[in-house]
Structure formats: structure tokens, C-alpha cells
Structure 1
Amino acid sequence: MKIIAQNKKARHDYFILNTIEAGIELKGTEIKSIRNGQCNLKDSFVRIKNGEAFIENMHISPYKEGNIFNVDPRRTRKLLLHKKEIKKLEKEIMQEGLTIVPLQLYFNTSKAKLEIAVAKGKKNYDKRQSLKEKDMKRDIDKALKNAY
């Protein structure tokens, strides 16, 4: 599994409740750009419309040799999920304060897959607490490393 892009901000801004792997419907030159690592998940989100899931604001840079075949870098892309999964996601996000965010884009064999998560937004004090825990863990690891 080769990870292409990660949304580190999502783990900082949200509590991750559960994750699902989804395929993405891409045009011809977009997959070549992804293979070159030219994509960004920052500020992207998943929306469900008419029983279908779409990812919005995901940036895939135009392929250099793509000329007329390139498409809009921030276009809305359809996610490939089973109907059961979409209905389950739709039920979960009906609860107040829940959303669907992409966590990472990777290649599973030769197919591009997107890991999406149902998440709940963190408050500022939650974010500070997460940073404190992260710093404490780093200090403990550093102390253990120096002890040996």
C-alpha cells in the first residue's frame, strides 16, 4: 500500500469515529497526476447527494503532458461505494455535529483508494489537550531512548 496524500489536519480538527475505504471515479490524466504525487486533501470533504457520495475540494494538479485532456483540478468527484455503505454514512451524519472527511489517498494494488471517516469536530480545548498528550508522548519516548 503506497500512501500518496494524507489529511493531517483532519486528525487534529476531528474525533475519528469510524473509517471506510472508497474508490474514486477519475478522468484519464488525473490518475497520472496522482501517481506523480500531485494531489492535496486539505480542506476537502464528502457530501452525499441523491444516494451517491461525492468528494469536493480535493485538488489534483493538471498533468503536464495532458494538454486538452486535463480537467478542473478542484472538480467534484464521485466516490465508489456500495448502497448499504452510503445509507449507513447518511444515517450517521444526520446526527448533529458529524461530518465525513477524507483521511488519506493511497494505491491498493493498482487502484487509487480513499480512506474516509465519519468524524465529530473538536473544540479548541480538545485540540489543546491533544497537543499536550502528543508532547508528553514525545518527551517520554525521548527519555526512554536516552535511557538505553
Structure 2
Amino acid sequence: MAAKKKAKSGMISHGIAAQNRKGRFNYTIKETVEAGLVLKGAEVKSLRLGRAALTEAYAIERDGELWLINSYIPEYQGGVLSRFDTRAPRKLLLHRKQVRHFIGAITRSGATLVPLDIHFNARGVAKVTIGLGLGRKKEDKRRAIADRDWQRDKARLLRNKGGDY
């Protein structure tokens, strides 16, 4: 059964609403955590349509709390009167111990909190996967591209030869 279900109205009830595909390429992710998000009703409806973007988003510490900055959630066009700022800072919901751990990692090692995806869990609650990332250098990115290309070529060779290696 597919992880992404669509309701009758074309909305995503479970599954990924937005992905940051460049996140794992630009950063070496040391650890990840699933965090809740403080959203308005219209923002949740818009997320369920799957048109959000996390390409330029990041998380920061403000007054002992973690905030998701520069994530794009488009306005919901379903006739709702409540409008919202599409790039507003959104509070991340984590346990106090997790918040202290990530704030310490940011200040100590200069790491970055990178949002990797926004998804809906089995109960239909919006969650964001945050990764503690260290920036990659250009040669590391080149090596990652070469490894990915080799894996693809190797799979193609094995598929075409029928596994006779």
C-alpha cells in the first residue's frame, strides 16, 4: 500500500507535503529529529495540497525556542477568509531537552539545523524532520555525485548482464 493517500478532494492525508532535496546534498546530516509545527488552519489545508517549499528554509534559536525560518507555504485558495504570511517564522515543538541539545550543537560546533521534509504522520498531524547538518565542501559534493553516478551505472550493468559478474 502506498504511503501517500489522497482524499476525495485531492488532498494528502498522510505522507510527504514538502521536501528539501538539496538538504542532504549541501549538508552532512549527523542526526535527525521529528518536530511538531505551530500552524494555522489555513496553513494546514495548504500543506495538505502539497505545494509547500523548503529549499531556502532553516531553523534558528530565538529566546530558548527553535523556529523554522523562510519556509514557503502558499495561501490556501479554498475560500478561507483568514490570510497568512507565506514565509512567516513558525515555531517548532520539541521537548526542552531536545531543544537544549540542538542549541548546544549549534553554538559548539557551528552546525546548522536543516529542515528535510514536512509530512503528515499516521494521525494526520503535520511534522517536520529537522537534521543537524555540517556544511559540505565542494570536493565532498563532487565525491557524492561521483558515488551516486557509479551506483546508478553499476545497477544498470548488473541489470543488463543479468547479474553475471
Question: Is the pair's TM-score, using the shorter chain for normalization, greater than 0.5?
Answer: yes
Which one has a larger percent strand, Structure 1 or Structure 2?
1
Contact 1:101–1:118 (CA<8 Å) still a contact in 2?
Answer: yes
Query: Which residue of the other structure, out of 49, 67, 71, is the alignment partner of 1:58?
Result: 71
Say what the alpha-carbon RMSD is for the aligned residues: 1.1
Gaps of 5+ in 1: none
Q: Greater relative contact order (Cα 8 A, min sep 6): structure 1 or 2?
A: 1
Report the equivalent of 2:117: 104
Verify the 8 A CA contact 1:29 1:66 in the aligned structure 2: no
**Alpha-carbon distance between aligned partners in 2 of 1:3 and 1:30, rounded to the nearest angstrom:** 15
2:146 is aligned with 1:141? no
CA displacement at 1:66 relative to structure 2: 4.3
1:3 Cα offset (Å): 1.3
Query: Which protein has the larger Cα radius of gyration, Structure 1 or Structure 2?
Result: 2
Show the 5 A alignment for 1:119-130. 119-130=133-144
Which residue number corresponds to residue 117 of structure 1?
A: 131
Q: Is the 8 A contact 2:27 2:134 kept in 1?
A: yes
Q: Which has the higher helix share?
A: 1
**Residues 144 and 113 (structure 1 numbering): CA distance in 2 closer, same or farther, change over 3 Å?**
same
Which stretches of structure 1, 4 residues or more, deviate above 6 A after TM superposition?
Answer: none
- The alignment covers a number of residue pairs equal to 148
TM-score normalised by L of structure 1: 0.96
Q: Deviations over 1:93-131 (max 9, x none)?
A: 113431100001111021011000100000111110100
Q: Is the contact between residue 60 and residue 73 of structure 1 (CA under 8 Å) also seen in structure 2?
A: yes
| Equivalent residue for 1:77, pick from 69, 72, 90 | 90
Query: Where do 1:13-24 residues align within 5 Å?
Result: 13-24=26-37
Note if contact 1:24-1:80 (Cα within 8 Å) is conserved in structure 2.
Answer: yes
Asked if 2 retains the 8 angstrom alpha-carbon contact of 1:56 and 1:74, the reply is yes
Counting aligned pairs with the same residue, the percent is: 39
Unaligned runs of 5+ in 2: 1-13
Q: 1:126 to 1:141 in 2, by over 3 A?
A: same
